[in-house]
Structure 1
Amino acid sequence: MASQTALEATYRALISRGRLSQDNGQAALVTRLAQLQTSLTQPKSELKASAPRGVYIYGSVGTGKSRIADLFAATLPSQISRRRIHFHEFMLDVHARLHKARSQSSFRGDPLIQIGMDVRTESQVLCFDEFQVTDIADAMILKRLFSAIWGTGGVLVSTSNRPPEKLYENGLNRDLFVPFIHQIKDRCEVWKMEGQDDYRTKNSDDPADRIDVLFLDPSKFKESLHKQLSGQELERLEIAVHGNRALSVSAIRPNGESGLVVSSTFEEMCHSYRGSADYVALCRQSKDIYISKLRKFAKDDLDVVRRFITLVDLAYESKVRIFCLSDAPLVEVFANIVRPADVPLQGQLPRQMTVRSEGGSSSSMMTTFIGETEWSATGLAEASLVTGGAGETDVRFAIGRAISRLYEMGFREYGIGD
């Protein structure tokens, strides 16, 4: 009998300890990723001329794609360099490198080729959470970037809400993006994650296993925040953001803990000048974020919706817990943007969070900054992400995923290491 890889052994240990439930779809993916681990650790003399094919994983919300990808990255042998990162954060890094390269008068040629080679030198394996393309600026650079990454032996393992052929669907100049789709299919096995149940909503029904996340009772919200503060007073802190900017928040740093406890209103957090770079910086520094005055979105609040979903995505990736004080049940918060019947969720949410339909998974929407100007997800100034272009086909998935992830944040074991 062949020996188990570290991934297989860890997965089975988590099942035996009750940290994961037996799931055929997850088990099949573990087997496939274990094969990739074996290929990556073979002596170079035994490897084929090219690097092993990666795995592009897509499927419904809450079926365990991200969890298994996390385990894959965490159990790779130390000699295999890897980078596990949300797609938002990766593209921010690429744009920062691109800006730096273009500002150097000595630079010649296509900077994306050198950037791709540098990324590969730093990490043999790239592991993305939620690979999605709704931004024309990203769509136009991915082929050249990944040509260099794959051409120098890089390997991609990625989760996504949709198959490659649905990426950047209805996006501007999509014909220029299609060659990158062919690259993905050539360099990665496209793996559909089987299963329809959202494990985030099927965990224990025991109230002792949960803490409240979406508070409809202001007294509970204040009580929880007061307990976190432990007598400390909130103060204004400046968090450094990429691009020589800073995000000002009201927060404390609990004694003996590294992460901030942040208290903010929804307007402060998701209105005005906010983008994914701000939320990346915030989530790197925080452990808990309290947001008061969450409200039902108006039809013209599309940019606000996008910011809120981006915040939830990046908090989830960083294992940061979000607490919300809302004037409406969570699903109803989005009712003016998409009909509750169109919100795609799998599994059965508890009674206080019921929806009237079911469906697939989601995407997070990127923000493009050109200079100090924030552009929409379609790449056109003042164009809405849900009135055409790639963003329109993704927004209903994004809402379902945000709800699912906020619900998972309500479990006591959320964010606790295995």
Structure 2
Amino acid sequence: MVELYQNYKEKVAAGQLKADSAQADMAQRFDMLATQLSEMKTGWFSKPVYPKGLYIWGGVGRGKSMLMDLFHAHTPLKPALRTHFHDFMLETHSFIAQWRKLDEKSRRKHAAYVKGVGEDPIPPAAKHIADKARLLCFDEFHVTDIADAMILGRLFEQLWKHDIVVVATSNRHPDDLYAGGVNRDLFKPFIGMIKDKLDIIELKSDMDYRLERLIAAPVYYSPLNQASDNALQEAWVRLTKGVSDSQVELTVQGRTLRVSRHAAGCAFFSFSELCDKPLGAADYLVIARRFHTVFIEHVPMLTPANRNAAKRFVTLIDALYESRTKLVLSAEAEPDDLYPEGDGAFEFERTASRLHEMRSKDYLAAGRSEEAVAP
């Protein structure tokens, strides 16, 4: 089975991707896994032997997510779930919280009920996941939250008992996951599990394609007019590599935050969506953690008349800046002129300075700061 590698070569030939030997080798490794999955034998008296999954790590912008998306599209193992790891853990914690609220009678009636585990919510959580997918494809596998760290080993031990195949992309080698975290010794056995169940492969491409696409054109457009609207849309197409837009719902402290447009790790918002609504730091931190690049269109002039929206904008920029999330933006004026006078203008000077820095090549080339956005 060479569908993924063939598809990769077709994209290169069409000019959608640049030829990259490291990516080509990885595409063939994904095809090898797909072949192994398609050739698994099942019988009345024997269980199929599942191959090891993959853990692909390397620097940002090397094409890890793109290749995993191609694999997800071509995998013979169905059903397959492709998800951002942070979203997966949020959903898992939500299931655990709901499970703990059920009485014994309700648990026994639940489709995820596992006999003989008592009050332990982890086996039912794993069964709930396994009932929905035989293959899990995780984008941006990283661990910064102690609540995640303390359950990952037991959760994945149960998932692998269900013969779930796991593929993951990460910017970190497994040995560096949860580095410096509280009670990391309790997390280390999970690192051993990863090495046992997944083949660890570094994608060693020398090119940061995400950075190349970011610096191909400006990332700050002003004033607001048809030209800046067109430029922002062109930047979106360039950064998302032709991936179709879709919607996603994020969970923020039990609330739902709807993102109406996202693709390839990027999210697109209007200023009004983010700053005219009663959102706060928690919402912006989740956005910063979930997307590597955020687009914001139609930032107006800021004045005391819209001070609440201006304060939210300041909080939003702080969240994006601290996490080193990339920003592509259209605004009525350059940063120094966005809030020219009145109550709040002096405080906005720091935000203007950050907006300037976020346009620099050094900022665009900087890696993500995972710890800065941990909840």
TM-score, shorter chain, exceeding 0.5: yes
Q: SS in structure 1 opposite 2:61?
A: coil
Within a 5 Å distance, the mapping from 1:230-379 to structure 2 comes to 242=251, 245=255, 262-264=270-272, 272-275=280-283, 279=287, 289-290=296-297, 292=299, 305-306=318-319, 323-325=329-331, 327=335, 353-355=360-362, 361-362=367-368, 364=370, 377=374
Structure 2 SS opposite 1:55: strand
User: Alignment partner of 1:219: what SS?
Assistant: coil
Task: Write the distance in 1 (CA, Å) between the matches of 2:225 and 2:318.
Answer: 25
Which digits, 9 at most, give the CA deviation of each residue in 1:223-254, with x for residues without a partner?
A: 529x99xxxxxxxxxx98647635599x99xx
> What per-residue deviation string (whole Å, max 9, x for no partner) do you get for residues 267-320 of structure 1?
66897353379749x99xxx974273899xxxxx9997446677959xxxxxxx
Question: Counterpart of 1:18?
Answer: 15
User: Aligned residue for 2:130?
Assistant: 120
* Aligned Cα root-mean-square deviation (Å): 4.5
* Cα separation, 1, equivalents of 2:10 and 2:227: 39
Amino acid at match of 2:229: S
2:39 is matched with which residue? 42
Aligned match of 1:177: 187
Q: Which of the numbers 151, 165, 168 marks the counterpart of 1:155? A: 165
Contact 1:59/1:192, CA 8 A, preserved across alignment = yes
Cα drift, residue 117 of structure 1: 2.1
**Offset of residue 118 of structure 1:** 2.1
Does the aligned pair in 2 maintain the 1:294–1:327 contact within 8 Å? Answer: no
In 2 relative to 1, CA 20–334 (structure 1 residues): closer, same or farther, beyond 3 Å?
A: farther
Q: Which structure 2 residue ranges, 5 or more long, are not aligned?
A: 108-117, 234-247, 262-266, 303-313, 337-349
Q: Which has the higher contact order (CA 8 A, sep 6+)?
A: 1
1:214 corresponds, among 214, 217, 220, to 220
AA paired with 1:155?
Answer: V
- Aligned equivalents of 2:329, 2:67: Cα separation in 1: 26
Instruction: Give the whole-Å Cα distance in 1 for the aligned partners of 2:315 and 2:214.
Output: 34
What is the CA–CA distance in structure 2 between the aligned matches of 1:356 and 1:213, rounded to whole Å?
12
Gaps of 5+ in 1: 229-238, 253-258, 296-300, 314-320, 344-351, 368-376, 380-418
- Return the letter of the residue paired with 1:86: H
Q: Give SS of 1:140's match.
A: helix
SS in 2 for 1:133: coil
**Structure 2 counterpart of 1:68:** 67
Mark the CA change 1:356 to 1:7 in structure 2 (over 3 Å): closer, same or farther: closer
- Residue 59 of structure 1 corresponds to 58
**Distance change >3 Å, CA 153–CA 334, structure 1 → 2:** farther
Query: Cα–Cα, structure 1 residues 174 and 43, in superposed 2: closer, same or farther, change >3 Å?
Result: closer
Secondary structure at 1:275 match in 2: helix
SS of the residue 2:168 aligns to: strand
- Partners of 1:279 and 1:53 lie apart in 2 by 32
Contact residue 317 and residue 351 of structure 2 kept, 8 A: no
CA contact (8 A) 2:285 2:319 kept: no
Report if the CA contact (8 A) 2:324-2:368 is conserved.
no
Count of residue pairs brought into register by the alignment: 310
- When structure 1 is superposed on structure 2, of 107-116 and 6-15 the one drifting more is 107-116
Contact 2:257/2:283, CA 8 A, preserved across alignment? no
Equivalent position of 1:103 in the other structure: 101
Letter in 2 for 1:219: L
Letter in 1 for 2:198: C
Percent identity over the alignment? 30
1:198 aligns with 2:208: yes
Aligned counterparts of 1:162 and 1:98: Cα–Cα separation in 2:
27
Match of 1:403 in 2: none
1:159 aligned partner, one-letter code: T
**TM-score after normalising by structure 1:** 0.61
The structure carrying a bigger helix percent of its residues is 2
Give, in angstroms, the shift of residue 45 of structure 1: 3.7
Q: Is the 8 A contact 2:219 2:328 kept in 1?
A: yes
CA distance in 2, matches of 1:357, 1:307: 12
TM-score (norm 2): 0.67
What amino acid maps onto 2:224 in structure 1?
S
Indicate which of 125, 129, 146 corresponds to 2:156.
146
Counterpart amino acid of 2:38?
T
Decide whether aligned partners of structure 1 residues 23 and 248 sit closer, same or farther in structure 2, where only a CA change above 3 A counts: closer
Aligned equivalents of 1:129, 1:248: Cα separation in 2: 20
Q: Distance in 1 between matches of 2:365 and 2:28?
A: 29
Residue 70 of structure 1 and its aligned partner are, at CA, apart by: 0.8
SS of equivalent to 2:82 = strand
